[in-house]
Amino acid sequence: SGRWLELDLSTGGNLPANSDDNPSREGMPDLKPGFELGPSLRIKFLDEDRYSLQLRLNARALITIEDIGNWEYQGMLFHPELRWEQVLNDRATLISSVESRYGDEDFHNYYYGVAPVYATEERPEYMADSGFGGYGVNIRLRWSVDRDWRVSAGVRYYELSDAVFNDSPLFERNSASYFYMSVSRMLWRSTRTRALPERELPDGE
């Protein structure tokens, strides 16, 4: 990494979903738990002690997990994100971002494709294209309880009306909003460290 460029890891994931709980997916395979992992090139436009502005170019592969030893590749996601971070005080950091998503055919078809064997009169066969997968905005507050514990809470909004898969029979809503909270703990720390502003501590994204 350099003064204005940094190469890091980008992660994401999804929880399992039972198709029997979704009328649009009835009779189709369940969505398995999965994780996304790949490189993140971070371009630092501003990098001050109390605030920063970065463009994060994230590329991640989606891997789903059936059980231990049974993992399956489900496609690639390109996820650029413009992120602003501002340290409010010794404990609190405000983070806001604007992001967009672009997936390949495999990635979009995992969520929105309908194979011929699962097609019905109400749910025709569908193959998604690669391309634009929507955009979103996010704002959250991160609070450091002490040196090891942190709590985050935020809201996120996604707009999907122009996504390439919005004509899928499994596509139901043009937009979505979420409120979320998380708790994290530092499990291990090197005995050799250097002083970092709070905003530079790893946040699992």
pLDDT at 201: 43
Rounded CA-CA distance 53/96 in Å is 10
Q: What is the pLDDT of residue 57?
A: 98
pLDDT tens for 25-51 read 999 999 999 999 999 999 999 999 899
Residue with tokens 């935020």: 154
State the SS3 of the chain.
CCCCEEEEEEEEEECCECHHHCHHHCCCCCECCEEEEEEEEEEEEEECCCEEEEEEEEEEEEEEEEECCEEEEEEEEEEEEEEEEEECCCCEEEEEEEEEEEECHHHHHHHHCECHHHCCCCCCCECCCCEEEEEEEEEEEEEECCCCEEEEEEEEEEECCCCCCCCCCCCCCCEEEEEEEEEEECCCCCCCCCCCCHHHCCCCC
Distance CA 134, CA 2 (A): 31
pLDDT reported for residue 188: 82
Percent over 90 (pLDDT), the chain: 79
pLDDT tens digit string along 62-75? 999 987 778 999 99
Q: How far apart, in whole angstroms, are the C-alpha atoms of residue 101 and residue 58?
A: 10
In angstroms, the CA 124 to CA 130 distance is 19
* Residue pLDDT, tens place only, 141-154: 999 998 889 999 99
Q: Kindly tell me if the per-residue pLDDT of 197 is higher than 50.
A: no
Residue 75 region by backbone torsions, left for phi larger than 0, else alpha for psi between -120 and 50, else beta: left
| Residue 160: strand pairing partners | none
pLDDT digits (tens, 9 = 90+) for 87-114: 999 999 999 999 999 999 999 999 999 9
pTM of the model: 0.83
Q: What pLDDT does residue 193 have?
A: 55
The token duo for 118 is 């699962």
